[in-house]
Amino acid sequence: MSDVKRIRIGQWTTYIFISLLAVFWAIPVILVVMNASKSLADFSAGNIWAFPKTFQLGLNMMDALRMGSLGNGLMNSLSYGVLGSGIAIFLAAMAAFGIVILRLKGGFYWFLLIYSGTIFPFQMYLVPLFKGYQKLGLYDTFGGMLLFYIAITIPFCVFLLRNYMTTLPYEIVEAAQLDGFHSFGIFTRIIGPLLLPPISVLFLFQFTWIWNDLVFGMTLSRSETVRPVMTGLATMQGIYFRSGVTTLLAGIVLTSLPTVLLFFVLQRNFIKGMLLSVKS
């Protein structure tokens, strides 16, 4: 067998394997969307594999928004995700800029100090955070939740951006300094535009993590005006699991849409950023 045939067989084997994985991944998603589109009477017929007789996904989504705290949770998580990820990435970019580009004294140890926040399991933070938030008056406040999401996402952002900045040629910084640029100008006008691909990756990752958070949302908040969306969805599971399972499934589909849409919006920079991150 020639080398060309072997390569083609290997390629077709890879394509078939990836296609099978895609099918297995898509089946549960299709099943949820199908049943979320049914009426309660249609779903109660018992055949979850049957196509809906009447398409009611939009109606079920509206019912999900009216029931429980899902509507407030969507707006809260959207605010936490956008503000928390954006502020964390900006602060992490400045920290990585100081460590790599400005070459701060003991920069590597500063990096280790920041990154040490990812060493321990997040569950270890629950009790200290709960007690600290109560004493400081941050418990069940929008600012307290936002502050937590910013702090918890900074270490990984610094890790990725630092690694990426080490691949940039330092000559461009020296040339900018000769042209009269100060440190902040170099950061905003020279280094900043080069960070768009890895920032797209980070924003998608961190937004998705904040959006899917349930444990800290339940621990650090209790009111509907503060709690994130996954907490509202968990509340729906307890209230509407029997009486409105199609509404619950529609709520699950609804809460999945923002991260899917964000991926398609950032897809181009996301793929480029992933390739650059792997190279770095």
Query: What is the full per-residue pLDDT of the chain (280 aa) written as tens digits?
Result: 566 677 677 778 888 888 888 888 888 888 888 988 888 888 877 777 888 888 888 888 888 887 667 888 899 999 999 999 999 999 999 999 999 998 888 888 999 888 887 888 888 888 899 999 999 999 999 999 999 999 999 999 999 899 889 888 888 888 888 888 888 888 988 898 888 888 988 999 999 999 999 999 999 998 888 999 998 888 777 665 555 788 888 888 889 888 888 888 877 766 665 555 555 5
Whether residue 72 sits in one domain with residue 30? no
Domain identity same for 134 and 211: yes
Domain identity same for 93 and 9: no
Asked if 108 and 226 sit in the same domain, the reply is: yes
Shared-domain flag, residues 104 and 222: yes
- The answer to whether residues 202 and 232 belong to one domain is yes
| Residue 192: both structure tokens together | 């900043």
Length of the chain: 280
Q: How far is Cα 129 from Cα 110, in angstroms, rounded to an integer?
A: 23
CA distance 234 to 212: 11
> 36 and 76: one domain?
no
| Whether 79 and 182 share a structural domain | yes
Of 71, 111, 119, 108, the residue nearest 92 (C-alpha): 111
Cα dist. 109→105, 106, 115, 116 in Å?
Answer: 9, 5, 10, 10
Please give the residue range of the domain that contains residue 111.
Answer: 60-279
The rounded distance, in Å, linking the Cα atoms of 45 and 22 is 29
Spacing of C-alpha 51 from chain mean position: 32
Q: How far apart are CA 69 and CA 87, in angstroms?
A: 26
Residues 118 and 234 in one domain: yes
**Same domain? 94 vs 122:** yes
Residues 241 and 200 in one domain: yes
When divided into structural domains, the chain yields a total of: 2
Q: Which of 55, 75, 99 is the last residue of a domain?
A: 55
- In three-state secondary structure terms, 162 is helix
Quote the pTM value.
0.85
Find out whether 191 and 199 touch, Cβ atoms under 8 Å.
no
Query: 190 and 89, same structural domain?
Result: yes
Joined tokens for residue 214: 């349930």
Q: Enumerate helices (H) and strands (E) in the chain, giving the number of each.
A: 16, 0
